[in-house]
């Protein structure tokens, strides 16, 4: 966006829409009768130097939230800031914008194992721009929703699917 503003200068006004985050939309769609609790749990990926590792408090907060819930909805995957053409990405599992491993980042799988160990059903909403191998998740979680990079109304779309207001039927040439 800054590049467009530099080119256009004072001759135009640049506006753009920010998409809705899944949590905010989900909370709004749930309505007053359903309590929605948020906890980050862990970052999507870890820096190669380990400086952004989830703190024990983050993990404890995620476990407490899961234990108090009827259903756990985990939104994870990867983001466009991690994968893309020739990007300078300094995260484990990524090199120059390319992925070096096809699996879901390990800290997410570990968090999902901890959440599943609470005994609560865990729904995994996977956001990604490419295929991700998730063998443990496919074998152990009752539901996985592939949301890709959900876009401006993606939060609403995810909420509609999870609340049963929409039935997705994607047919794509990609195998997970």
pLDDT band of residue 5 (cuts 50, 70, 90) is: very low
What digits encode the pLDDT tens for the residues 19-29?
557 777 777 88
Highest-pLDDT range among 5-9, 50-54, 99-103, 172-176:
99-103
Which two three-digit tokens encode residue 43?
A: 């970052």
> Which residues are within 8 A (CB) of 102 and not within 5 positions of it... i.e. 6 or more apart?
131, 132, 133
CA 16, distance to chain mean position in Å, is 22
pLDDT band of residue 4 (cuts 50, 70, 90) is: very low
> Which residues are within 8 A (CB) of 168 and not within 5 positions of it... i.e. 6 or more apart?
145, 161
> What is the average per-residue pLDDT within 47-62?
88
What digits encode the pLDDT tens for the residues 99-121?
889 999 999 999 999 999 999 99
Q: How far apart are CA 77 and CA 129, in angstroms?
A: 9
> Which residues are within 8 A (CB) of 8 and not within 5 positions of it... i.e. 6 or more apart?
14
The enclosing H or E element of 61 equals helix 56-68
Q: Which of 88, 86, 68, 66 is nearest to 141 (CA)?
A: 66
């Amino acid at each position: 966006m800054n590049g467009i503003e530099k080119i256009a200068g004072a001759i135009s006004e640049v506006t753009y829409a920010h998409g809705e985050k899944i949590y905010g939309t989900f909370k709004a769609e749930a309505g007053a009768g359903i309590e929605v609790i948020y906890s980050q749990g862990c970052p999507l990926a870890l820096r190669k130097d380990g400086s952004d590792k989830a703190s024990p408090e983050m993990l404890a907060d995620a476990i407490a939230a899961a234990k108090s819930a009827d259903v756990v909805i985990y939104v994870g995957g990867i983001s466009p800031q991690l994968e893309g053409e020739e990007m300078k990405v300094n995260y484990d599992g990524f090199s120059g914008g390319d992925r070096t491993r096809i699996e879901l980042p390990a800290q997410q799988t570990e968090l999902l194992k901890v959440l599943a160990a609470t005994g609560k059903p865990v729904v995994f909403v996977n956001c990604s721009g490419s295929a991700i191998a998730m063998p443990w998740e496919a074998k152990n979680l009752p539901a996985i929703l592939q949301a890709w990079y959900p876009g401006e109304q993606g939060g609403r779309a995810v909420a509609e699917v999870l609340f049963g207001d929409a039935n997705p039927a994607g047919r794509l040439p990609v195998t997970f």
